[in-house]
Amino acid sequence: MLIKKPDDIKSSEITSESVYLNRRNFIRAATLAGTAGASGLLYRRLNPASQKAAAPNAPPNGLNAAVEQVASGYRTAEGEAANSFEDITSYNNFYEFDTSKSGVASASEGFITRPWTVKIEGLVNQPREFDLDDLLKIASLEDRVYRFRCVEAWSMVIPWLGLPLAKLLAAVEPMSNAKYVKFVTLYDKKQMPNLRTDILDWPYQEGLRMDEAMHPLTLLASGLYGKSLPPQNGAPLRLVVPWKYGFKSIKSIVQIVLMEEQPRTTWNMANDEEYGFYSNVNPQVNHPRWSQATERRIGQCTWGNCVETKMFNGYADQVASMYAGMDLNKNF
């Protein structure tokens, strides 16, 4: 896991010293580090004004080449190496585009992510509709290397770039009776071909309890490997909740609603016997159709499952206290 004390951890504790210095020198040279103002500049550099996202396999520009040179430095605090950029961008779940993991990248090529706004409303004192550039200026972007575990028993280690969700929610001043946060994905049949099917109840929506949403590990990701998010990974803004199964990390967010009642969520509506609201990674609770005790780490396992699943995906020290006294077999 990456973060034992999220407020204190330094990037230099994540990577080797040489990689850290090279990476910081590169960012410094590009004048993209550190402050809230620089975050906006970083976002604009990673997301040029073109309406079409760069193809995943496009020739690297100067920025991408420099990032790839230090890619091996992305590791969790336990020393787990990040999956390759190719792994992360070619094996994806994004049902709005395609139900085949290998088909999402091609189906989402050309997905338009600018302009983009995110509306935050409900039980807040300052409801707002954020332009994406303005939203990303709220807090400095941070690199987070997280395990990412999917319910289908496969996993990756991904270096995300984003801002803590808590800082965004603080900007709209949640009311005291706000107990849950609902997230909604873009609904655009012209760009998302599978919205014309009834395989799920569209638009895709997810939810967190307020304390989960405000937890320091919960991230709104706008990039990975120092690059802007490709469409297949949830561009331009997605949720990342590393102790939960991957389907909780909703993609291409356009709406966030603070609520008093627990929101309905897409997979729970589709099959509540298999997909609960909490969806915490738990090796002791099997999916009805397969074991969750082990997982297949993409890029490491040639076949079968080769990694033991950890409680809360390895983040138990940070998050287990939120579920003290709960029956995690019942509240799965």
* Residue 234, domain extent: 11-273
Residue type, 165: L
Poorest-pLDDT segment among 73-77, 100-104, 218-222: 73-77
Q: From edge to edge, which strands make up the β-sheet containing 205-209?
A: 128-131, 117-122, 253-259, 180-185, 205-209
pLDDT category at 222 given cuts 50, 70, 90 is very high
Average pLDDT (98-115) is 96
Contact call for residues 284 and 332 (beta carbons, < 8 A): no
Average pLDDT (82-96) is 96
Asked, for residue 56, whether it belongs to a domain, the answer is yes
Question: In the predicted model, is pLDDT for residue 267 greater than 60?
Answer: yes
Asked, for residue 322, whether it belongs to a domain, the answer is no
Task: Specify the number of domains making up the chain.
Answer: 1
Asked, for residue 286, whether it belongs to a domain, the answer is no
Question: In the predicted model, is pLDDT for residue 48 greater than 70?
Answer: no
The pLDDT of residue 138: 83
The pLDDT of residue 305: 85
Asked, for residue 287, whether it belongs to a domain, the answer is no
Torsion-angle region of 81 (φ positive above 0: left; ψ -120 to 50: alpha; else: beta): beta
Integer Cα distance of 315 and 27 in angstroms: 29
pLDDT in tens, 177-194: 999 999 999 999 999 999
The pLDDT of residue 73: 78
The pLDDT of residue 218: 98
- Backbone CA torsion sign across 276, 77, 234, 240: positive
pLDDT in tens, 147-160: 999 998 899 999 99
The pLDDT of residue 71: 52
Integer Cα distance of 274 and 227 in angstroms: 34
The pLDDT of residue 220: 97
Question: In the predicted model, is pLDDT for residue 53 greater than 50?
Answer: no
Question: In the predicted model, is pLDDT for residue 65 greater than 70?
Answer: no
Q: Considering the entire predicted model, what is its pTM? A: 0.80
The pLDDT of residue 77: 78
Question: In the predicted model, is pLDDT for residue 166 greater than 90?
Answer: yes
Percent of the chain predicted with pLDDT > 70: 78
The pLDDT of residue 72: 60
Name 150's bridge partners.
154
pLDDT category at 87 given cuts 50, 70, 90 is very high
Contact residues for 303 (Cβ-Cβ < 8 A; gap 6+): none
The pLDDT of residue 13: 35
Average pLDDT (190-207) is 97
Average pLDDT (219-233) is 95
**Tokens 């809230």 sit on residue:** 36
The SS3 of residue 70 is coil
The pLDDT of residue 29: 32
Asked, for residue 310, whether it belongs to a domain, the answer is no
Asked, for residue 15, whether it belongs to a domain, the answer is yes
Asked, for residue 292, whether it belongs to a domain, the answer is no
Asked, for residue 116, whether it belongs to a domain, the answer is yes
Average pLDDT (215-238) is 96
Integer Cα distance of 43 and 132 in angstroms: 9
CATH number of residue 90's parent domain: 3.90.420.10
